[in-house]
Structure 1
Amino acid sequence: MNSTTDSTSTETGSATVDHDVAIIGGGSAGLSAATTLARSLRSVVVIDGGEPRNAPADGAHNVLGQEGIPPLELLARGRAEVRGYGGEIRPDTVVDARRDGDRFVLALESGDTVRARRLLLATGLVDELPDIPGVAELLGHDALHCPYCHGYEVRGSRIVVLATSPMSAHQALLFGQLSDAVTVVAHSAEALGEQERANLGAAGITVIDTAVERLRIRDDVTDTGDAIARLDGVELSDGTVLDADAVVVAPRFVVRGDLYERLGGTLAQTPMGAVVETGPMGATAIPGVWAAGNNTTLNAVVTVAMGEGVSAGAAINADLVMADVQQKLAPVA
């Protein structure tokens, strides 16, 4: 049975609810953790601001048994599963987090407050895109960054890689496995060193040393009659237009780590960017706080985030079990 029951008070016009576990972020990691905890009869709440990173994508791939499922449909199914096991989903945003004795207190944008014995941060990250006109409009359709998420869908097509970071050459080599028509445009001169250029040359990938002016966009209509922006070529600064069916970009990954820092944590620096550092099964350096998903693993795809969520949920449940046992064994003062 649940070790903590929900209690609601309205002392100042806002509600305060107490849970075993509060999960901040309702993506693949957060919902997977919530399901794991709810199946262990934990009182769990998922607080989600409704900004899934993969919302622009047509489908989520490498999801066993759900190949190509639209990301928003996958999340809708996940929320239904959490609710089916008794978990709560709150559409809201956490604006502050602090420890209060043996509880964590979360202040919500709505004015409500959530208290929980344990906290899971599944806040994900934000993709900071290259400042090139057209990239944001085409992201998730004809502007891609992950060969495992969307590469198969552009196999054999004309792919232009916009080299803006040291990761761009690696991206080009991976997309080169999927197409013989890959071209790299060295938009940022410092993005490609001598070794990267040698690697690309060995793979038969052409490098053009010209900056990108913009991505040309045309309006298409889908089979369902919906309008959609599609790539109509890559225009370079010298006026040349490259024919392309897809472009590959290298975003800067920025973890949503402000709440972790508010709780006293420090983000760890990695070659790909800052992350919430975790130990086995998602435990952070802050007692009682776990993390899972893209805020800990910048390159985690949907299924990896799911796995991290399940592991963190299991670890939190085990931690609560032992805490309850130790409390019962403690001598009465």
Structure 2
Amino acid sequence: MSNIVCLHGKSGLPSCPAGPQGLDLRFSVTLADGRSVTARRVLVATGLKDVLPEVPGLAEHWGQSVVHCPYCHGWEVRDELIGILATGPASIGHAFLFRQLTEDLTYFTQGIDLDEETRTRFAARNIRIVDTPVQEVVDNEDGTLGGVRLTDGQVVARRVIAVATRMEARTEGLDGLKLPVEDLPGNMGRRFASGMAGTTEVAGVWVAGNATDLAAQVGASAAAGALAGAHINSMLATADTNAALAATPAR
């Protein structure tokens, strides 16, 4: 399937049945192979991208020994030497969740302050705290993740690094739609703003799945897409009926 290069509303296209309030909505999609297709309505389901901290060696292990979700990856990393690479306040809760999966958990603060109450709670759960910043991820001879090197030169052995990524909706090629976006609190991520059934402020455009609900897993994303699709179909059915009625000679 060709990638979308550009998607935007476009005037001057062949006529199509008018929707509610006489709106004749058309969109043009330019594909990477040069082809162009048009549509009366658009459903954006581009998903999201995870933005990792800029720590050398981290991205190379993403999706294998570098993970982000205890519910997605917990079974595979259970009982391993796990390190939490702090990215913000959300990483504190992250630590308690991964502590349920291992007896050996280390929390790397990365310069983010931990108050005394949190340090006390970590101590109660035997979560080791390392305040010296991580300089890079180091590998074993076989290429697997071996641990992290701190800025003081010390290497802390870890088999898994858990990191709360910043999640951002994929927006490539969609600038022409001018969809409103919003940032989540705590630098958690950026998503397309949406209302009921995935509607947006841009007439004729819906969003679904991780493009608007950054925490949705596969089941929730699929359900959101089905709901948006049904809503679009209902709107088109009304538009077609309105157009047919307008074209019927008066009796």
| TM interval, short-chain normalised | 0.7 to 0.9
1:141 maps onto 2:64 in alignment: yes
What is the aligned counterpart of 1:253 among 146, 164, 167? 167
Residue 207 of structure 1 is aligned with which of 119, 125, 129?
A: 129
Aligned partner of 1:103 among 19, 26, 29: 26
Report the alpha carbon displacement of residue 260 of structure 1 after superposing the two structures with TM: 4.9
CA 1:172–1:283 in structure 2 vs 1: closer, same or farther (change >3 Å)?
Answer: same
Structure 2 equivalent of residue 283 of structure 1: 199
Q: Give the C-alpha shift of residue 146 in structure 1.
A: 0.9
| Structure 2: gaps of 5 or more residues | 12-23
Answer yes or no: is the 8 Å Cα contact 2:87–2:163 preserved in 1: yes
C-alpha separation between the residues in 2 aligned to 1:219 and 1:114? 50
| Pairwise CA distance, 1:91 | 2.5
CA RMSD of aligned residues (A): 2.1
Alignment of 1:1-333 (within 5 A): 90-100=1-11, 101-190=24-113, 192-218=114-140, 220=142, 229-257=143-171, 259-271=173-185, 272-330=188-246
Cα deviation, residue 322, structure 1:
1.8
What is the deviation of 1:308?
Answer: 1.7
Query: Which residue identity is paired with 1:243?
Result: A
Displacement of 1:211? 0.6
TM-score normalized by the length of structure 2: 0.85
User: What CA distance in whole angstroms lies between the structure 2 residues aligned with 1:282 and 1:151?
Assistant: 30
The offset of 1:267, in angstroms, is: 0.8
SS in 1 for 2:80: coil
TM-score, length of structure 1 as denominator length: 0.65
Q: 1:169 to 1:299 in 2, by over 3 A?
A: same
Q: Counterpart of 1:151 in structure 2: which amino acid?
A: G
* Contact 1:99 1:263 (8 Å CA) reproduced: no
Q: Is the 8 A contact 1:164 1:187 kept in 2?
A: yes
Q: Structure 1 unaligned runs (5+)? A: 1-89, 221-228
Q: Number of paired residues?
A: 235
Deviation at 1:230, TM superposition (A): 1.3
User: In the TM superposition, what whole-angstrom CA distance separates every residue of 1:230-270 from its partner, at most 9, and x where no partner exists?
Assistant: 11122211222222121112222222235554223221222
Question: Which residue type is aligned with residue 151 of structure 2?
Answer: S
Query: Quick one: distance in 2 between partners of 1:213 and 1:107?
Result: 43
Matched-pair contact (CA < 8 Å) for 2:4–2:173:
no
Q: Which amino acid aligns with 2:45?
A: A
Q: Using a 3 Å threshold, how does the CA distance of structure 1 residues 219 and 281 change in structure 2: closer, same or farther?
A: farther
Aligned residue type for 1:216: V
- Shift in CA distance, 108/211, structure 1 to aligned 2, threshold 3 Å: same
Name the structure 2 match of 1:16: none
**Percent identical:** 39
Question: Would the alpha carbon gap of residues 304 and 193 (structure 1) be closer, same or farther in structure 2, given more than 3 Å must change?
Answer: farther
1:248 aligns to what SS in structure 2?
strand
- The verdict on how the C-alpha distance between 1:329 and 1:197 changes in structure 2, with shifts beyond 3 A counting, is farther
Greater mean deviation of Cα atoms: 142-151 or 278-287: 278-287
Structure 1 residues 193, 277: closer, same or farther in 2, change over 3 A?
farther
